[in-house]
Amino acid sequence: MEKIEKNPFEKEWNSLHQTIPFSSIHTKDYEPAIVKGITLQKKEIDAITKNPAAPTFENTIVAYEKSGRLLDKASSVFFTLMGAETNDEMQELAQKLMPLLTEHATNIGLNKLLFERIKTLYHKRQELSLTQEESKLLENSYDSFARNGALLEEAKQTRYREIKQKLSQLSLDFSEKNLKETNRYELLLKLKKEVKGLPDDSIEKAAAKAKERGKVGFLFTLDAPSFLPVMTYAQNRELRKALYLAYTSQCAHQDEWSTLAIVKEMVSLRCELAQLLGYNTYADYVLTHRMAKKAEKVYQLLEDLIKAYQPTAQKEVKEVEKWAKQQEGDDFQLRAWDWAYYSNQLKDATFHINSEMLRPYFELEQVKKGVFGLATKLYGIRFEKTKAIEVYHPDVEVFEVIDEKNNYLGVLYTDFHPRAGKNSGAWMTEFKGQWKEDGRDSRPHILLVMNFTTPTPSKPALLTFGEVTTFLHEFGHALHGLLSDVTYESLSGTNVYRDFVELPSQFMENYAVEKEFLSTFAFHYQTHEVISDELIQRIIDSSNFNVGYACLRQISFGWMDMAWHNRETAFDGDVIAYEKEIQKKTQLLPDTPESCMSSHFSHLFAGGYAAGYYGYKWAEVLDADAFSLFKEKGIFNAEVANAFRKEVLSKGGTEDPMVLYKRFRGQEPTINALLKRNGILND
């Protein structure tokens, strides 16, 4: 009789730190594990609801928190790899699994018996002598049910289920169409003169990409390492224009990859869902669980920043256009596809600095040493590379993270370069979070995914300064996960309000222009000379170049997000026309009719940032205010770093974030530190 092999997700993983045995997992394993995980969690919840004993924190809240571990185990691996190492088979499976998972989650959220037990505890919470973390878990449990329809009458609950199912499917469709649109696009040039101005390694990569696809010439795609050098350096204006229009009009054409109908339907369904739950708008619904609390406060922040930065931004545009006219003639009109090219020239002429000049000092291996070393300086932790832990792709590296007392702190996976099965962009995620149980501290397994410049046959991976900053940003998220010290996984690490989660990441970006930090790792990859003080000073001097333009651009995304999600009615108009109207308030360059941000704005329609994109600017106010204390006391000051770790990084979502921030900083933040950092406000 043939032996039936046990599903790998049902086994106890005996690997180092119980890390994922990727070689033992196949696509066929996900569905049965997830289906069984759903069945098991149903039984676990039935056991809670059928418990004859009166509800207690342990037999209800903790039991609910611990339920679904097999489901979490399988689905976290599946959906993490959907972003980092996907294929057609997995995408097809995702279409099958998402309705099951959404239905299961909705069924739990509308489970009356479970909610009754939670509600009983919530209403007598003052009598339960709970710790701060226990109180937050109880509060979150109650809010989760209330915000997910548990208080609705039956007919409205039915409609709620339908909306949740549809939104889940639409989000998945949006993501898949974006990935396919990005992957299918290519632009082939035949002549060397057509790629004039591009750095040698960009030309080399474009030639290699063409050869890889059986073509002759120079092939460009919409991946960042291909797209950005063209926009910054290509003398060929038609090349810049073609690539820019392709990038900014992704999924906005009347074809099978269009997401315009998805955007309309998602916006309308979100509005209906919010109103079912008693809110005027989807933004109102979302913001009750954000630091901002109300849409008015978001608009106030955006308006304050527009007022502060718009004059500077308008001046910057005039200066870049003046520079361009000096090169091209008085009839030249600066367009969106010209901005990066001419602003980079002006920056180079003003500060004698550009990305290609800096690249030789940012060899990826050295950058890793610098970024990891920064965590050592601040928090005493170190990263030890290991081959003893399996990876899902040969590009991936793994590090054991060790704390200042030589204790194991967690696992960090890094995946730095683009490939066909990987979404564009950069992000931090986790295969498992941190929790404590029965005296054991179960540590997190964190993944950093990037799409950095790749090595060439003649050069190692040399990063742009922007890529170094991106590394620092995502590494800040990783530290938030790795330094978590809480009891319950749902409150650990980055499980915090969206407008707070970017504080640890954007805080780390401050170090990118600090001489004391750069001098620890920025060595020329050929000569091994440390980056000069003069070059560092030029980086510092140029760090606020076009800061007004950059701020207005970011605000425009937040403004668009609020325009989509602070509506009180369904949307049945023209997506592109509506977006154009929204953008007028922050528009600095002539409109490009073909462009549409919403059609490929994954943060809003596939990434959980709906009604929350303002959070990047909110967190920027926080990070500037927080870093001003380090600037005052010393950027590696152990006392301040320990306070930041203790009150911000280790606490996860166990307390209201403003309470945590004020405990660290001693005051609420203002925009003044950000304005000073950006040179908008003088000391």
Residue 651, pLDDT score: 98
Percent of the chain residues topping a pLDDT of 90: 93
Report helix, strand or coil for 409: strand
Q: Tell me what the pLDDT averaged over the chain comes to.
A: 95
Identify the CA nearest to 399 among candidates 368, 370, 362, 422.
Answer: 368
Alpha carbons 102 and 166: distance in angstroms, whole number: 9
| 431 C-beta neighbours (distance < 10 Å), count | 18
The two tokens of residue 371 are: 């970024």
Local structure of residue 452 (DSSP, 8 states): P
Identify the CA nearest to 680 among candidates 612, 615, 620, 590.
Answer: 620
Residue 2, pLDDT score: 54
Mark whether 474 is an active-site residue.
yes
Alpha carbons 402 and 538: distance in angstroms, whole number: 36
Residue 425, pLDDT score: 87
Residue 213: which residues within 8 A CB-CB, separation 6 or more? 186, 219
In a 13 Å sphere around the CA of 107, the CA atoms on its Cβ side amount to 13
Catalytic residue of the set 356, 397, 474, 514: 474
Local structure of residue 198 (DSSP, 8 states): S
Categorize the per-residue pLDDT at 666 as very low, low, confident or very high, splitting at 50, 70 and 90. very high
pLDDT digits (tens, 9 = 90+) for 530-588: 999 999 999 988 989 999 999 999 999 999 999 999 999 999 999 999 999 999 999 99
pLDDT at 4 over 80: no
Categorize the per-residue pLDDT at 3 as very low, low, confident or very high, splitting at 50, 70 and 90. low
pLDDT at 683 over 70: no
Report helix, strand or coil for 615: helix
Residue type at 268 in one-letter notation: S
Could you give all domains of the chain from N- to C-terminal order, each with its CATH number?
Answer: 8-151 (1.20.1050.40), 185-248 (no CATH), 263-351+544-683 (1.10.1370.10), 359-543 (1.10.1370.40)
Categorize the per-residue pLDDT at 681 as very low, low, confident or very high, splitting at 50, 70 and 90. confident
Q: What is the average pLDDT across 281-307?
A: 95
In a 13 Å sphere around the CA of 618, the CA atoms on its Cβ side amount to 25
Contact 616, 305 (CB under 8 A): no
Report helix, strand or coil for 478: helix
Q: What is the average pLDDT across 658-677?
A: 94
pLDDT digits (tens, 9 = 90+) for 204-261: 999 999 999 999 999 999 988 899 999 999 999 999 999 999 999 999 999 999 999 9
Local structure of residue 634 (DSSP, 8 states): -
pLDDT digits (tens, 9 = 90+) for 510-544: 999 999 999 999 999 999 999 999 999 999 889 89
- Phi and psi angles of residue 218, each rounded to the nearest 5 degrees, phi first: -130, 115
Tell me the pTM. Answer: 0.87
pLDDT at 356 over 90: no
Residue 546, pLDDT score: 96
Identify the CA nearest to 512 among candidates 469, 475, 480.
Answer: 469
Residue 608, pLDDT score: 86
Alpha carbons 381 and 374: distance in angstroms, whole number: 9
| 158 C-beta neighbours (distance < 10 Å), count | 12
Place of tokens 């299961």: 104
Contact 496, 652 (CB under 8 A): yes
Identify the CA nearest to 297 among candidates 567, 597, 611, 579.
Answer: 611
The DSSP bridge partners found for residue 231 are none
pLDDT at 310 over 60: yes
pLDDT at 677 over 80: yes
Percent of the chain residues topping a pLDDT of 70: 99
Residue 1, pLDDT score: 46
